Structure 1
């Protein structure tokens, strides 16, 4: 059996779920937030895409899953405000192994979209989020289809290279 078929986080929102046991990962996401923000700013100042396409590899499920997307949105909004331009649409692909609890992630999207509208006074632009289950040991996306790829606490699994 392939490793990517058996590895997964504890799903749901129970006492032993990854959603309730991922404070270390959250701290790491916060630690690299300035680096992600600077990278997004540089990208937005050079490309000006109508739709910015990003992927988060190893997103898992729980409160951290959409934290990275939220940070990217904040960086986009700040950058485009400085440039006096309307922000682009965002297409975010959340990737993890097929055993990930994507149902919990998808159930959280209506609340995420509502919070996004409230925090940004509906001035952000469209945001589209999709799941992309699969292993990043193989191809997940077509050539030249993404502008930005993020991974936090997933790259340590790369042992097949």
Structure 2
């Protein structure tokens, strides 16, 4: 039996889709946030200043959980960047998974993801200062 036929998620946003049935995965992502934040902060603080940070998700999900860890990583790095007084960064996010993954659903969620980044990055002056983020 071919692996891609066995290991796949139900696409779309219907009742049986992964996007509607991945609450457990979301809880795990949120539960491990403090550990992830600490690791990412440490990594960023040990790097020399950069202009671009690349994030690769080599087993991305097919729904809102796809962007949850990415959003957390960007928030953590951007917070550290601001604390150090570094210039704004550009983020390149690479999503990859099995060929049968529902990338159409993922990319339909991009406007929501970018809007949440914008809201999360309100500056001291009340203006939004979202990082540049490109998803591929």
Are residue 43 (structure 1) and residue 43 (structure 2) matched?
A: yes
Are residue 127 (structure 1) and residue 129 (structure 2) matched?
A: no
Task: Extract unaligned runs of 5+ from structure 1.
Answer: 131-161
Equivalent residue for 2:117?
116
Contact 1:8–1:99, Cα closer than 8 Å, also in 2: yes
Task: Extract unaligned runs of 5+ from structure 2.
Answer: 123-127
Contact 1:40–1:75, Cα closer than 8 Å, also in 2: yes
Are residue 78 (structure 1) and residue 79 (structure 2) matched?
A: yes
TM-score, normalised on structure 1?
0.74
Equivalent residue for 2:125?
none
Equivalent residue for 1:17?
17
Within 2, Cα distance between the matches of 1:124 and 1:85? 15
Contact 1:6–1:99, Cα closer than 8 Å, also in 2: no
Which one has a larger percent strand, Structure 1 or Structure 2?
A: 1
Within 2, Cα distance between the matches of 1:3 and 1:26? 25
TM-score, normalised on structure 2?
0.87
> Deviation at 1:57?
2.2
Within 2, Cα distance between the matches of 1:102 and 1:7? 15
Are residue 4 (structure 1) and residue 4 (structure 2) matched?
A: yes
